[in-house]
Chains A and B, each alone.
Chain A
Amino acid sequence: MRRGIAAAVLATAIAVSASACGGSGSTASSSNKASGPVTITWWDTSDATNEAPTYKLLVSEFETANPSIKVNYVNVPFGTAQTKFQTAAGSSGAPDVLRSDVGWTPAFAKAGYLAPLDGTPAMADESAFESTLIKQASYNGHVYGAPQVTDTLGLMYNKQLFAKAGITAAPTTWDQLKADAALIKQKDGVDGFALEAASYYAMPFLFGEGTDFVDTANNKITINSAAAVKAMTTAKSFVGAPGISKLDVTADADTDIMDSFQTGKVAMVIQGPWDITNVYAGSAFTSKSNLGIAPVPEGSTGTAGAPTGGQNLVVYAGADAAHLAASEKFVGFMTSAASETETALKNGTLPTRTDAYTAAVNANLGIEGYQAILKYSVPRPALPEYSSFYASFATDYTKILAGQESIQTGLGNTSSAIAKLLPSYAAQ
Chain B
Amino acid sequence: MTVAVEGGAVEKRLPRAPRRGPVARMKQSYDRYWYAWAMAAPVVLVLGLVVLYPLGRGIYLSLTNATSLNVGRTIGVNHIPNSYSWVGLHNYEQILSGADHEFWPHVWWTLVWTVACVALTYSLGLGLALLINRQLRGRTFYRVLLVLPWAVPTFVTMFSWRLLLADNGLVNSALSGLGLGAPGWLSDPTWQRVAAIGVNTWVGFPFMMVSLLGGMQAIPSELYEAAEMDGATPWQRFRYVTLPGLRPVSNTVILLSVIWTFNQFNVIDLMFGYGSSDSVQILVTYAYQLFFNQQPQDYANSAAYGVIILSMLIVFASVYRRWLKRNEQQVGI
The count of A-to-B residue pairs whose CB atoms sit within 8 angstroms is: 125
Chain A residues with CB under 8 Å of B35's CB are 7
Q: Is B168 an interface residue (CB 8 A)?
A: yes
- Inter-chain CA distance A89–B279, complex, in Å, is 29
Contact B167 A104 (CB under 8 A): no
Q: Looking at the assembled complex, report how far the CB atom of B295 sits from the nearest CB atom of chain A, in whole angstroms.
A: 5
Q: Is A18 an interface residue (CB 8 A)?
A: yes
Contact B49 A19 (CB under 8 A): yes
Q: Which listed segment binds B: A149-157, A295-303, A392-400?
A: A392-400
Contact B76 A317 (CB under 8 A): yes
Contact B276 A394 (CB under 8 A): yes
Q: Is A388 an interface residue (CB 8 A)?
A: yes
Q: Considering the complex, which residues of chain A in the window 56-90 have a beta carbon less than 8 Å from any beta carbon of chain B?
A: 79-80, 82-83, 86-87, 89-90
Known: A15-B45, A18-B42, A83-B293. Is A251-B75 also a contact (CB below 8 A)?
A: no
Q: Is B275 an interface residue (CB 8 A)?
A: yes
Q: What string of 1s and 0s marks CB contacts (under 8 Å) between B148-182 and chain A?
A: 00000000000000000011100000000000000
> How many chain B residues have a CB neighbour from A under 8 Å?
46
**Which of the residues A4, A112, A392 comes within 8 Å of B80, measured between beta carbons?**
A112
- Inter-chain CA distance A388–B293, complex, in Å, is 10
- Inter-chain CA distance A110–B79, complex, in Å, is 11
Q: Is A249 an interface residue (CB 8 A)?
A: yes
Q: What string of 1s and 0s marks CB contacts (under 8 Å) between B229-272 and chain A?
A: 00000000000000000000000000000000000000000000
Contact B275 A79 (CB under 8 A): yes
> How many chain A residues have a CB neighbour from B under 8 Å?
57
Contact B78 A112 (CB under 8 A): yes
Chain B residues with CB under 8 Å of A107's CB are 295-296
Q: Is B225 an interface residue (CB 8 A)?
A: no
**18 examples of A-B residue contacts, CB within 8 angstroms:** A7-B41, A11-B42, A14-B39, A19-B46, A80-B273, A87-B292, A107-B295, A111-B80, A251-B275, A252-B167, A387-B295, A392-B278, A394-B276, A398-B189, A402-B188, A416-B99, A417-B102, A420-B298
A interface residues with partner B (beta carbon < 8 Å): 3-4, 6-8, 10-11, 14-15, 18-19, 79-80, 82-83, 86-87, 89-90, 104, 107, 110-116, 248-253, 256, 316-319, 324, 385, 387-388, 391-392, 394-395, 398-399, 402, 404, 412-413, 416-417, 420-421
**Additional pairs, 18, CB under 8 Å, beyond known A90-B297, A104-B295:** A6-B38, A11-B42, A15-B46, A83-B294, A86-B295, A112-B75, A113-B78, A115-B77, A249-B188, A249-B276, A251-B275, A252-B168, A317-B77, A387-B295, A391-B294, A404-B189, A412-B101, A416-B100
